[in-house]
Amino acid sequence: MTNFVNDELEVLRPFGPTIAKVKMPQDLIDKLNKYTENVLSDQNKQDELNYGNKLAGNVKQEFIIEKDIMEKIGWGKFLAEGVREWVFKTNNRKITQFNIINSWIVRQFQNEYNPSHWHGGHVSGVGYLKVPKTLGETSQNNKTMNHNGKLEMVHGSKAFLCKPTFRVTPRVGDFYFFPHYLMHTVYPFKGTDEERRSISFNAFIDEDIYNVYADYVKK
């Protein structure tokens, strides 16, 4: 049996909450892209799975992934293994429950964006299935930072020795797990007609592990 997630999973601590980064297997990326293309070839299917009215993004298209497909191609297994490893490496506790609420594809094109928002459930994540060769240049040549097409996570505020933001440059196959409450945004990009395709999810885990005050309540 193939292990989707192994010791290569890296737990990042850019600020308070931990974030886990892992590589998606190429065969899983291929299956998810193939599924997406199949949906795009069927207008009725696109209408049926449309999820845009439930999400924050100002993007071309967002659609839900069917739960039987998640199981068939191993997407649910990848997510469960990743969350299990992330939680264990963060607080040395093993989850016994992992229930996916939803998972969806986001198709973003130039000048589109995702405003600041957070997710439902306990845990969430985002990964990249397609990324344009270029995300465009800054409007002013003297700018030292280019946020085009990047994911930015925010926690807390700027202070001495405190880093309140964590920016992610999208790369195909990179997947990030993060707590559902972590505020984040996706910047627009420009200079290309290529698609920035990402995949996200929300899920519940064991309530007594998620609820950091559970032990106090029991007492």
pLDDT value of position 212: 82
Measure CA of the first residue to CA of the last residue in the chain; give whole Å.
42
| pLDDT at res. 14 | 57
The number of CA neighbours under 13 Å toward the Cβ of 135 is 23
pLDDT attached to residue 49: 97
Q: Provide the pLDDT for residue 133.
A: 96
Amino acid 5: pLDDT: 62
Tens digit of each residue's pLDDT (9 = 90 or more) over 57-87: 999 999 999 999 999 999 999 999 999 999 9
pLDDT of residue 36: 98
Residue with tokens 């659609």: 63
d(CA 106, CA 49): 12
Report the distance separating Cα 62 and Cα 39, nearest Å: 11
At residue 53, what is the residue type?
Answer: N
Here the tokens at position 2 are: 């193939």
pLDDT (0 to 100) of residue 4: 64
DSSP the chain: ---SS-TT-EEE-SSSS-EEEEEPPHHHHHHHHHHHHHHHT-HHHHHHHB-GGGS--BSSEEEEPPHHHHHHHTHHHHHHHHHHHHHHHHHS-----EEEEEEEEEEE-TT-BEEEE--SSSEEEEEEEE--S-----SSTT-S---TT-EEEE-S--BTTB--EEEE---TTEEEEEETT-EEEE----S----EEEEEEEEEE-HHHH-TTHHHHH-
Q: Which residues pair with 105 in a beta bridge?
A: 63, 199
Q: Which domains does the chain have, with CATH numbers?
A: 18-137+146-205 (2.60.120.620)
Q: What is the mean pLDDT of each run of 10 residues along the chain (219 residues)?
A: 66 78 97 98 96 93 96 97 96 96 97 96 98 91 89 89 88 98 96 97 96 67
What is the pLDDT, as a whole number, of residue 217? 56
Predicted structure pTM score? 0.90
pLDDT of residue 189: 96
Cβ atoms 155, 17 nearer than 8 A = yes
Residue 145 to residue 138: CA distance in whole angstroms: 8
